[in-house]
Amino acid sequence: MPAAAANPQIEFPTPLEQHWQGLRVLQWRIDETANRALQAEHGISLSEYNALAALVYSDDDGHLRQQFLADSVPLNQSSLSRLVGRLENLGLTERYMCPNDRRGVYTQVTKAGIAMVEAARSTYVGAVREMLGEMADDPVMTRSLSEVVRETD
């Protein structure tokens, strides 16, 4: 078995693949950092914060159809149902049936949910800012996406 390199490098063959992998890693790092900070400081996960923020910042008075919420978070319908159930148990959201279409389920943010987003927002923004700052000097990340896409044409 060959000896492992001390600092192995992964070099994807094209700038497009390099950039896409860099974006995926960046999102993972931001998500992990934000999730840890939100859990430690506010007792909620990043997914829970994202769902609450989508409700709070929607233009529909803090309520959304669950399918629309699932698409905006993004989560599959089953995962969103479990997430909304946790938020409901915490008193941060409420669910109700659509009066015009009994198959439609809406989620409404509560006053406690609004307060949670207001309290947690600076933690979330701080984590995003921290990770973006760390990546600001990475040459793969600082190249514009349009530049990378044009190179592959």
pLDDT at 149: 63
Q: Which residues have a Cβ under 8 Å from the Cβ of 15 and sit 6 or more positions away?
A: 143, 148, 151, 152
Q: What is the pLDDT of residues 54-72, one digit of tens each?
A: 999 998 888 899 899 999 9
Confidence band of 138 (pLDDT split at 50, 70, 90): confident
pLDDT at 133: 85
Confidence band of 151 (pLDDT split at 50, 70, 90): low
Q: Write the DSSP string, 37-86.
A: HHHHHHS--HHHHHHHHHHHTSSSTTEEEHHHHHHHTT--HHHHHHHHHH
Q: Give the angle subtended at the CA of 101 by the CAs of 99 and 102, to the nearest 5°.
A: 80
User: Greater confidence, 61 or 48?
Assistant: 48
The domain spans of the chain are 15-152
DSSP state of 6: S
Predicted TM-score (pTM) of this structure: 0.84
Respond yes or no on whether the N-terminal peptide bond of residue 8 is cis (omega within 30° of 0).
Answer: no
CATH, range 15-152: 1.10.10.10
pLDDT at 146: 63
Q: Is the pLDDT of residue 142 over 80?
A: no
- Average pLDDT, stretch 11-15? 81
Q: What is the pLDDT of residues 105-135, one digit of tens each?
A: 889 999 999 999 999 999 999 999 988 888 7
